[in-house]
Every structure is written in structure tokens, then in C-alpha cells.
Structure 1
Amino acid sequence: MTTILASPTLATTTLDDRITGSLTGAAVGDALGGPVEGYSPEQIAERHGGRVQGIVGPWHGDDWRTARPIAPYHKGDGHITDDTLMTHALIRVYGTVRDHLDAYAVADHLVPDLISRPRWIPELDAEALPVQRIFLAEKWLVARLHYGHVDPREAGSGNIVNCGAAMYMAPVGLVNAANPAGAYAEALDIAGAHQSSYGREAAGVFAAAVAAACAPDATPGSVVDAALALAKDGTRAAIEAVTEAATRHTEFEAALTPLRAAVAPFDTVGPDYRAPSLAARRPSRLHSIEELPVALGMLLVSGGDYRHAVLGSVNYGRDCDSIATMAGALAGALHGESAVPRDWSTAVAGASRIDLRTPARELAAVAREIFVRDTERRRAHESAYRRLTADVR
């Protein structure tokens, strides 16, 4: 394990503030990364005359509807993408169940939400069902659970292995705040309905990292250590390699190439993000998604600074909306809502016609209810165990 030492924060940030910071930070990172998703750092710099420093417009300008017919989405101008749509959908499931979730909750509540409740979809500039925007790997949930009636715990098997499940697991970490092991286990169960192999593993590790970032004395180093303590196989190896490279840098510009080089041996997509290799996204114990290790690397490079971590993630390119979503969630959980630039969050909320604070308030309320239930369950177990182990005379 790579142990990274850092000084603890001086003040304790409240749970509510960390939840708001994490969810707002994730949405803002998503919106900033969307318009440059799929491109290289060099292409991004050429297109924008240097590094992206905030909200930018669509890559193809006014031709965004037709430039890429397979993905006719208005990415840019502060619009959130499917990462945030799925995150907020999962929060609504927590609001309904008001307890820990599992794969059956995905089948019973998340899928119906995706296919029956029209919502404003910023990238479509229209009100539509979320299923009409989400990527094919997420449409898998609908095909397998709603139409195929597959056992929810096994429905993820056969799907392409990518970051689709990991990208919206921040709420799991937040309801398990300061309990990385609990977040990891819950996210693995939930993600079984969506992903398998290292895609499912990444969902568990990302949730654990978010939970670790909520600890009162959390630092970027403690977050990485918590992730490494739970990660398995190629995911663990990739995080080790990327975070080791990250410790040599304090500016994202210098870290862009080294972080990509560190994760490349574990990434099945290959050097051309838009033309994946034949071995891409298949189950493996040796490989990892790219997004989570790089997000953790950027968290280290930035020293936990939100703006630096997110801009590093955005300018990394490739699947940078998801990388920035994860880095933003982690940095926001570490430092609270004030860490997220207000001009960014205000612009994203306005452009996307979305309330970024209400989901956070709702999840914070649910997190407190779950903690009370967990405490009651734990005390009942302790009482039963004491009776079972009492001396019999």
C-alpha cells in the first residue's frame, strides 16, 4: 500500500456541508468536463487556445446537434450530463427507501424512475425521460431489469465494463460518511445490477473514497489510503501506480502525461478513446477503469483543492466528465460547499435548470435517518451477542 502522509484539516466541516459540497462539486465537474469529453489534452488546448479554465461551449459550436449523430447532445455551456442525471436518480431512490440500498432497490425504484418520469434534460434542451439520454451501458439496466426480469444481483453480468456504475456512486459514500467499508459493501451490491468485474469494483472503491473524504480529519492522502485498503486486483494496482506518479507533482499541467502513462497498462480502451481496442471493456482481474485512479491522482496533485483537481481532470481529456465528477465529489466532500467556486455552481444550476442544493438536503436527511437505524440495529446485535456469550453458572 502507498501511504501518503498529510496534515489533518484544522476545522471540522459538518456532514450537511460535506454532502452539499460533494454533490455540488460532482455536478459542476461533470458540466465542465462534458464539452471536452473524448479528446486528448493536446486537442483540448488547440481547440480552446490553451487549457480550459471554466465553463466552455460545445466542441462543435452551433453544429452540436449534427456533428456527432450518435450522440446529439448539447454538451457545454454549463450543462450537466448523464453522470449527474444518474446521481440525482439514485438520491431519489434513497429518498423513497430511506435506508441502505441493494440491487433490488435499483430494479424496484431506479429503473421505474428512468422510464416513467419526464425531467428536464439539459443536453437535449427538452423535457424527456432520462432513459432517452443515458448511455447504452446504462440503458442496460432497463433492458435487463424491466424487460428481461433478470435477478437484480446478477443483471450487470454481460454489460460492457466501464465507469457507468462508478460515476453515480457518490450518494452511497455520503450516506455511509466516515465508514468506507460500509460504503464499499453497499455500492458493490447496488452496482451488481449494472456492472461486473472492475466496473463494479470501481463503484465500490469510489463510494468508499467519498465516505473516507467525509471523515473529520480526512486528507487527500487518507482518502487514497482508504481506497487502497479496500480495492482489489487491477483496480488496486492501477490506483497504486497512478497515485505514486501523482505524488511527484503539484501542478496538473505537469501531471497530465505521467498520470496517463501510469494508468495506461490497466486501461482496456487504448490510446484512441473514440476507437476502443478489441479487448476494451471486457471483464478482467488485471485491468481497471481509467477514471477513478486518475480522479484520485488529481486529488493528490491538487492537494485537495477543488478548482485545481477539477480543472486537472477536465484538461486530462478522454472520459473527463466522469473523472471531473469523481474528483469534484471527493474534493467537495473534503472541504464542503465553500470549496466549489460559486460562479461555477450558479452558472451550472442556471444553465441546466437544476436545483443543486435540494438533492443534497434530501440526502443529508436520509443519511441521518439511516444512521439512527444503524445504531438501533447495532445495539440490538450487541444485546443479543452479550446474552449469547454470557457465562452460564
Structure 2
Amino acid sequence: MPSIAALRERARGALLGLAVGDALGAPAENLKPSEIRARWGRITGYVTDDPAGTDDTEYAILSGLLLARHGSALTPAHVEAAWHAWIADRDEGPFRGAGFSERGTLENLRRGLTAPVTAQHRHAWSDGLAMRAAVFGVYAAGRPAEAARLAAIDGSVSHEGEGIYGGQAVAAGVAAAMTGAPPITTIASALAVVPADSWTARSLRRAVSVAHEGERAIRSAVVIAGYPWTDLAPEAVALAFGAFAASGGDFRDSVLTAVNMGRDADTTAAVAGALSGATQGITAIPTPWAHAIGPAKGSCLPEMAGHHILDIAELLLQTEPMKWRPTRTDFALAAEAGEDR
């Protein structure tokens, strides 16, 4: 198990990496690679004068604050109460609560419904849980199964099925990376917590198996061509893990690979940033990228304004994580992933 100092560096890397990826990917959201090239060539850094995190960062802060308050005792009732107190019962920012899954959840909460019925809407399969799930991996460092359990509790208010699986895969992957697991074991840990026959698992395996062939191969393996919505959890999570695998866990390459593949680029880059930030620590994040990230502006969630993502990392480290040893399943899946590559 890494030292407390090493865990702190990885926790800060994971969550700042999430925010950096979010800010880098936001301008490329919903674009095709050809459209990205036409506008900027290949994106190699921020393409706006005032880069900032979007709903991905602000919802991660929300879940992090909630987790810091309740820890492993977190329940769906806690999550539901927080959504009421911090979003549903207050004025929302210009983004009106963010993506489709969040909108559907808030409408259900305002109708007086409770979890898990609040997650019964048309976008329960979105990547809205995956975008905020890294906080559970940071909190449960070295405990992928616990990270996945907590992510599912958080997601029970807003997601079902594949939407939950995507969040669990991200949480477990970050939890493994936090202890210095190599990318192949990080990927195996993500696969170990979701059903093997799920859309999420199938997409993740396909993306990782062709990652050595580059961005075009990863996109072709998992993107649903012609489908108008880019926030499908199985697709976004697979693209993020594909970018992470293609780069061997290198932060800069992971994030830029995700950004330049387009689709839901802020979320895929946020997830790739969290995975690679946990793997390499905060020092791997280029200084100009790191320094551009300030406290949340509250553009989506006004109640999150003023909270810095690095403060969340510190809060989540207050409880010393338990030691993790890879399971037999982890090694089996790692071997399988190695054969696919």
C-alpha cells in the first residue's frame, strides 16, 4: 500500500485530472474528429481563454462533499436529500441542472418521487454517474469493490442499468490506480465489478483490445454511428478507458486522446484524466493546465460555487483506506486483457 503522502498525490492527481480533462474536452463536446481538426487541428491544450470545469466537475464536487460527510455509511436517502437541498429545491444555474439524466432526475424529485423511482427516466443509461464517480475511487483507494458499491448508491437516485455499471467501472478503476496498479490491472478491476455480458463490459473490452491501433480504432470499436446523443455511458466509459490504455496511463496522452475523439469529450477526458491522474499523481499534470483550474463557478450548480476540486481530494483522504490485494478474478481479467491487446 502506498504511503499517505503518495496517496495524497494520487488523490490530488485523480480529481484535478478530472477537472483538467473536463475543461480541455468541453469545447470539443458533441463534435466529430473531422470537426475538431477543421476548427483547431489537433487539440494539444486549452483552446479557450477562460478554461473551466463544467457539470462534470461540479457534480463530482457534490458527490465528494456528500461522501466526505457520510463515508461508507452513505445511503440512497442521503443522496436524495442532498439533491433536494443542493439542487432540486433551489434555483439552478444556466445549465439547468446539466444533462438529460440529471434533468429527468430533478423533474422526478420535484414531483415528490423517491429513489430508485427517481432514476426511471429516458436517460438512465447516460454517463452522468461516470463523470462524477472518481471520488468514490479516491475515497476507497485500494478497494475497487467498495468504490463500486458506493458509486451504485450515489447513482441509484439518477441512473439504472448501464448508467450504474459505467459509474462503477470508473470508481473501481480509480480505486485500483490509487494504489499504483498498472493500467492493465486498473482495467481488470473495472471489468471485475460489472456484469461480463453487459453493454458496458463488452464496449470496454473492445476499446481496450484495439487501443494499440489508435483513436480511430477505439472510436470504431464502440461508437454508435448515427446515434444523436453522445452521453451513452457504455460508449463514453469505453472511450475513456481506451484512451487510458492507448497511452499506457500517461496523463497528457490519455486526456488528449480522449479530447480528440470528440463525442462527449468533456466526460471522456474527465474520466481519462481521473484514471491517469490517479496512476501518475498530480505532478504528471502539465503545470499550465493545472494552474488554469480554479474554484467551481457554479455555472451548473450554484451551490457548488467556490469549492475547489483539490479541497475535495483533501476531504476524502481523512479516512485511511484499507489495504488492497488483487483477487483471483483481477488476475484472470488482467490476463484476458493482455491477450486482447
User: TM-score w.r.t. structure 2 length?
Assistant: 0.83
State the 1:292 CA deviation: 0.7
Distance change in 2, residues 1:186/1:96 (3 Å): closer
State the 1:136 CA deviation: 3.1
Q: Which moved more, 1:11-20 or 1:161-170?
A: 11-20
State the 1:100 CA deviation: 3.7
**What CA distance in whole angstroms lies between the structure 2 residues aligned with 1:259 and 1:177?**
28
What residue identity is the alignment partner of 2:63?
L
**What CA distance in whole angstroms lies between the structure 2 residues aligned with 1:184 and 1:35?**
30
Q: Is the 8 A contact 2:200 2:235 kept in 1?
A: no
Q: Is the 8 A contact 2:88 2:109 kept in 1?
A: no
State the 1:335 CA deviation: 1.4
**What CA distance in whole angstroms lies between the structure 2 residues aligned with 1:13 and 1:311?**
28
State the match for 1:359 in structure 2. 312
**What CA distance in whole angstroms lies between the structure 2 residues aligned with 1:92 and 1:129?**
19
What residue identity is the alignment partner of 1:181?
A
Give the one of 221, 244, 247 matched to 2:209.
244
SS of alignment partner, residue 132 of structure 1: coil
Give the one of 135, 141, 155 matched to 2:99.
135
Q: Is the 8 A contact 1:77 1:351 kept in 2?
A: no
Distance change in 2, residues 1:228/1:133 (3 Å): closer
Give the one of 176, 183, 192 matched to 1:220.
183
**What CA distance in whole angstroms lies between the structure 2 residues aligned with 1:199 and 1:238?**
13
Q: Is the 8 A contact 1:116 1:129 kept in 2?
A: no
State the 1:109 CA deviation: 1.6
Q: Which moved more, 1:10-19 or 1:177-186?
A: 10-19
1:200-245 deviation digits (Å, cap 9, x = unpaired): 11111111111111123x1111111111222222211111111000
State the match for 1:341 in structure 2. 286
Give the one of 65, 74, 85 matched to 1:112.
85
Matched, 1:51 2:46: no
Distance change in 2, residues 1:182/1:97 (3 Å): closer
1:96-142 deviation digits (Å, cap 9, x = unpaired): 32444232221112331124677xxxxxxxxx648734223212232
**What CA distance in whole angstroms lies between the structure 1 residues aligned with 2:12 and 2:84?**
25
State the 1:78 CA deviation: 0.6
State the match for 2:139 in structure 1. 175
What residue identity is the alignment partner of 2:121?
G
Equivalent residues in 2 for 1:214-363, closer than 5 Å: 214-216=178-180, 218-232=181-195, 233-246=198-211, 248-249=212-213, 255-264=214-223, 267=224, 270-271=225-226, 275-276=228-229, 289-349=234-294, 355-363=308-316
Q: Which moved more, 1:28-37 or 1:131-140?
A: 131-140
User: TM-score w.r.t. structure 1 length?
Assistant: 0.73
What residue identity is the alignment partner of 1:345?
A
Aligned length: 312
SS of alignment partner, residue 357 of structure 1: helix
What residue identity is the alignment partner of 2:144?
P
State the match for 2:331 in structure 1. none
Q: Percent identity?
A: 29
**What CA distance in whole angstroms lies between the structure 2 residues aligned with 1:179 and 1:335?**
18
SS of alignment partner, residue 158 of structure 1: coil
SS of alignment partner, residue 333 of structure 1: helix
Give the unaligned 5+ runs of structure 2.
298-305, 324-341
What residue identity is the alignment partner of 1:364?
L
**What CA distance in whole angstroms lies between the structure 2 residues aligned with 1:358 and 1:105?**
21
**Higher CA-based Rg:** 1
State the match for 2:303 in structure 1. none
Q: Which moved more, 1:303-312 or 1:154-163?
A: 154-163
What residue identity is the alignment partner of 2:168?
G
State the match for 2:327 in structure 1. none
State the match for 2:129 in structure 1. 165
Higher relative CO (Cα under 8 Å, sequence separation at least 6) belongs to 2
Q: Is the 8 A contact 2:131 2:270 kept in 1?
A: yes
Distance change in 2, residues 1:100/1:326 (3 Å): farther
State the 1:144 CA deviation: 1.9
Query: RMSD over aligned Cα, in angstroms?
Result: 2.7
**What CA distance in whole angstroms lies between the structure 1 residues aligned with 2:130 and 2:278?**
16
SS of alignment partner, residue 234 of structure 2: coil
What residue identity is the alignment partner of 2:61?
H
**What CA distance in whole angstroms lies between the structure 1 residues aligned with 2:104 and 2:121?**
9
Give the one of 204, 207, 210 matched to 2:168.
204
